[in-house]
Every structure is written in C-alpha cells, then in structure tokens.
Amino acid sequence: MVILSVFITIVAALLPAIIWLLFFLKEDVHPEPKRLIIYTFCVGAIISLPVLIAQIIFQNVLLELIRNAFLLMIGLAVIEEVFKFFAAYFAVHKDPAFNEPIDAVVYMIAAAMGFASIENIFIASQNINTIHPLAFAPTLITLALRFVGATLLHALASGTVGYFWAKGWRKPDLRNQIIIGVVGATIIHFVFNYLVLKFQNVTLFYSSLFLVVAAFFLLNDFEKLKTADKERKM
C-alpha cells in the first residue's frame, strides 16, 4: 500500500515539470538528444541537495548578522539560479550536441524542471502514508497551483539565464551575459515570491499574471534566437 502511495505521489509531482519541459522543447526547431535532456533533468534534480544546504547556511549564518526579509528572498533566489545554471553547464557544455545558442535555453529549462520536480515531490510527500483518493485531493490541488506557479517560475527564470547564455555564445563577454541572466532570473524569482507574500488571499491571480507576462518575453526571446540562427546559416 505504501509503495503504491509513493508511486502515485512521485508521478503526480513529476507531471507539472514534465508538461512544461515538453512545452518549451517544442520551441526548439532542432530537437536535442533525449538522453542529454534526461541527463540534464537528472542533474538539475540532484543539484537540489547542495541548494538546500547552501540555503540553510545562508539563512542560519548570514542572516544572523543581517536580518531583512527582502535580503532573505533575494539571497535564496540567487542561490537557486546560480546552482541551476551550474547544473546545466556541467551537464552539457562539453557535449557535441550542445552546438547552437538556443540549446542554452533548452538545457537550462531541463535542469530547472529537474530541480522543480524535487520541490514538488517534497511537497507531495505530505500524504505519502495513505492512498485514499480524498486524502490526495489537497496535494493534487497544491501541485496544480504549482503548475501555474512555482514550477513555471523555475522554467522562466532559468530560461532567462539560458537566453543570456545564448547571447554570449562563443563571445568574449559570455561571463558578463550569464551574470546579467542570473540577475534577471533573480528579479523574476524575487517578484514572484514578493507577490505570493504580499497578496496571500489572491496569490494565484497576481503571481500567475506576472508569470504570463514573463512567459511572453521568454517565448519572444526564443523567436529572436531562432531568427538569429536562420540568419547565421544563410
């Protein structure tokens, strides 16, 4: 019974990330190898452990000296965005399949969805001791909200890092572009978290509206990269 409960929990927790990953993969006109997408996804999931450790250290050590709610949100966001970048970079930067700028966005989102999956599994595990359908209802509602909330947030924030990584593709200012991307991703992350805290009674509306706007810009960035790729090959 417990094994079945664990299975259902994991599947339900993985679905939001997998759906968003498949959605953004369709934006890539030259599909990436499935084995590398899966590998990057897994590295993104594994990176969640050092992220947790770094965040605990940040909260318990640094914030003992400087107590500020905004600093807390910014610091936690920076940690996540930096680690997700390194997860994607570690997974693909030496692979021959990583051969065009738009790939940076694709693999950043793959790593982010791996990371988001672990977050979702952790939250969904609250009902792991029962398989009664009604007992899963709160968890399913939470996962549905995370589908249009935190899971999408991770895709958009990391996709932003990927876009600037792509802009710096094989250029001298690559490091600066990545830093700009991390700053942009941190801002997206911070604004989302701020809206969640500020408008707790109507969180879904304001935070989701913000993500819709962010998604519009990221999809537009995809189009810019695809257009640049066509011009480069002409």
Q: What is the pLDDT of residues 84-100, one digit of tens each?
A: 999 999 999 999 999 99
Helix segments in the chain, DSSP class H: 2-25, 34-46, 48-57, 63-65, 69-92, 102-124, 133-147, 150-167, 174-198, 203-233
What's the pLDDT score for residue 27?
A: 87
d(CA 50, CA 189): 19
What's the pLDDT score for residue 203?
A: 58
* Confidence category of residue 9, pLDDT binned at 50, 70, 90: confident
> Which comes out higher in pLDDT, residue 51 or 6?
51
d(CA 100, CA 169): 8
Comparing 44-58, 73-87, 101-115, 190-204, the range with the smallest average pLDDT is 190-204
What's the pLDDT score for residue 55?
A: 92
Q: Does the structure show a pLDDT above 60 at 4?
A: yes
> Which comes out higher in pLDDT, residue 133 or 87?
87
Q: Which of 149, 100, 87, 86 lies closest to 120 in space, CA to CA?
A: 149
What's the pLDDT score for residue 29?
A: 82
> Which comes out higher in pLDDT, residue 96 or 9?
96
What's the pLDDT score for residue 148?
A: 84
Please, are residues 166 and 227 in contact by the beta-carbon 8 Å criterion? no
* Confidence category of residue 233, pLDDT binned at 50, 70, 90: low
* Confidence category of residue 82, pLDDT binned at 50, 70, 90: very high
Span 21-26, average pLDDT? 95
Within 10 angstroms of residue 230's Cβ, the number of other Cβ atoms is: 10
- Please, what sign has the CA dihedral across residues 132, 138, 143, 144? positive
Q: Which of 33, 9, 150, 34 lies closest to 99 in space, CA to CA?
A: 33
Residues, the chain:
234
Comparing 31-35, 127-131, 166-170, 204-208, the range with the smallest average pLDDT is 127-131
What's the pLDDT score for residue 61?
A: 78
What's the pLDDT score for residue 127?
A: 60
Average pLDDT across the chain, whole number? 88
Within 10 angstroms of residue 117's Cβ, the number of other Cβ atoms is: 25
What's the pLDDT score for residue 66?
A: 67
Q: What is the pLDDT of residues 137-183, one digit of tens each?
A: 677 777 888 888 999 999 999 999 999 999 999 889 999 999 999 99
* Confidence category of residue 32, pLDDT binned at 50, 70, 90: very high
Contacts of 149 (CB under 8 A, 6+ apart): 192, 196, 203, 204, 207, 208, 211
Q: Which of 80, 58, 61 lies closest to 150 in space, CA to CA?
A: 80
Residue 135 CA, distance from chain mean position: 28
d(CA 35, CA 187): 32
